[in-house]
Amino acid sequence: MQHISRRVQACACLGPSLRPFFDIIATMAGEVISLGIGEPDFATPTVIQAAAIQALQAGRTSYTSNYGMIELRQALSEHLARLYGVRYAPQDEIIITVGVSEALVIALMGVLDPGDEIIVVEPCFTSYVPDVVLAGATPVMVAARPEDDFAVRPADVAAAVTPRTRAILLGYPNNPTGAVMPRDRLEGIVALAQRHDLILISDEIYDRLVYGVTHTCLGALARERTIVLGGFSKDYAMTGWRIGYACAPAVLTEAMLRVHECFLMCASMPAQDAALAALREGEEAVQQMVRTYDQRRQVLACGLNEIGLPTAEPKGAFYTFSRVSHLGLTDIEFADKLLREEKVAVVPGSAFGQSGSGYIRCCYAQKMDQIEAALDRMASLVRRLGA
């Protein structure tokens, strides 16, 4: 007799599935311009590839410490200190994980108990709420407001705190909105966490992808109570390598390590060698990618506004978040119509939480000619809808 856990059943009911869109895209091979998948269109820089190849040729394919290679942890400690002025001890305050997705799971499982609440700021990455549910805790959603360019207000977070609140989960630079949190608002969140003795979990996977603004690492403001999550997927075009990290005081990393060593043990050694090369030799490639994304960002955001899809200027990551509710369709209906009639794939905003309803996410990790062609096709649909 089959038995499906209530946790998994609960996850299935949390929001719209994107599977139908991807199923349709699969039948349109070569026809669709995809602004949907949040993945760099760049290949992993050659110097990073070479490090992994060398590792394989040298037979470096064994297990590493559960924490990860000490050389990588040392380099990462120096990297974060140089960029953000916060230093983590390589010995016991950094865990190398199998992508940031795993880092989030072990953070949630390491600090939350059944019955605990965690405040989750939305719109947010699609796995945040399911991960909280699978950890046995209760997500309490707080919406970042469009009029604030989706930088959440500390007062709105404060209003959601209850005696059961254990932690706050933030993701900035933000997927899907491209928002970057101003330092003063982060300081307000820190003051709130200190007042109520809360853990802060900060997903900073897009930390290097910012445009005209400065990213503030939350760990630099509240090191004693923050778990900083990051990785190499976006900044270094290493999505398939599955290398992330979690940084926190040792008492927190010890809790996370117990989950990590039971589930995944360690990230692969060749991938860790590649990540080490990224930190040591990948900066020029990062800067080139950022310049390219910035050019695409400006074209896509301006183009969307011009064709009648109101879009706040994204300051980070590689996404725009555009309002479509004024066109008389839901975001899911608009995305479906755009895909079927114009062969442009975008993601409905409701996939990122209730506050994303009425919006679509477009990813500009795509060649400029494809972005321009997609804008032309989207403009055709908007005109037919009478906007």
- Strand pairing class (347-348; 344-345): unpaired
Q: What is the reported pTM?
A: 0.94
Separation between Cα atoms, residue 31 and residue 139, nearest integer Å: 39
Which pLDDT value is given to residue 18?
64
- Domain 46-281 coded CATH 3.40.50.300: no
Residue 204 has pLDDT above 80, yes or no: yes
Which pLDDT value is given to residue 91?
97
What integer is the mean pLDDT of 17-44? Answer: 79
Separation between Cα atoms, residue 246 and residue 92, nearest integer Å: 11
Q: List, in sequence order, every residue forming a beta bridge with 12; answer none if it has no partner.
A: none
The CATH number of 6-43+284-382 is 3.90.1150.10
323 backbone dihedrals φ, ψ, rounded to 5°: -80, 130
Which pLDDT value is given to residue 8?
73
Tokens 């970042």 -> residue: 144
Residue 387 has pLDDT above 70, yes or no: no
Domain ranges in the chain? 6-43+284-382, 46-281
- Strand pairing class (199-203; 165-171): parallel
Residue 243 has pLDDT above 70, yes or no: yes
Residue 58 has pLDDT above 90, yes or no: yes
Q: Is the pLDDT higher at 172 or at 386?
A: 172
Which pLDDT value is given to residue 52?
97
CA separation, residue 44 to residues 40, 53, 210, 293, 366 (Å) = 9, 13, 19, 15, 15
CA separation, residue 58 to residues 62, 74, 276, 361 (Å) = 11, 22, 16, 43
Tell me the pLDDT tens digit for each residue of 9-21: 776 666 666 666 6
Mean pLDDT over the full length of the chain: 94
CB 253 within 8 A of CB 94: yes
Three-state SS at 227: strand
- Strand pairing class (33-34; 344-345): parallel
Separation between Cα atoms, residue 310 and residue 330, nearest integer Å: 15
Binned at pLDDT 50, 70 and 90, residue 364 comes out as very high
Q: Minimal CA–CA distance to 355: which of 185, 104, 131, 150?
A: 150
Instruction: Please state the three-class secondary structure of 109-150 as a single string.
Output: HHHCCCCCEEEEEECCCCCHHHHHHHCCCEEEEEECCHHHCC
Tell me the pLDDT tens digit for each residue of 130-148: 999 999 999 999 999 999 9
Q: List, in sequence order, every residue forming a beta bridge with 323; answer none if it has no partner.
A: 359
Q: Is the pLDDT higher at 296 or at 8?
A: 296
Which pLDDT value is given to residue 290?
98
Separation between Cα atoms, residue 357 and residue 134, nearest integer Å: 24
Tell me the pLDDT tens digit for each residue of 280-325: 999 999 999 999 999 999 999 999 999 999 999 999 999 999 999 9
Q: Give percent of the chain with pLDDT exceeding 90.
A: 90
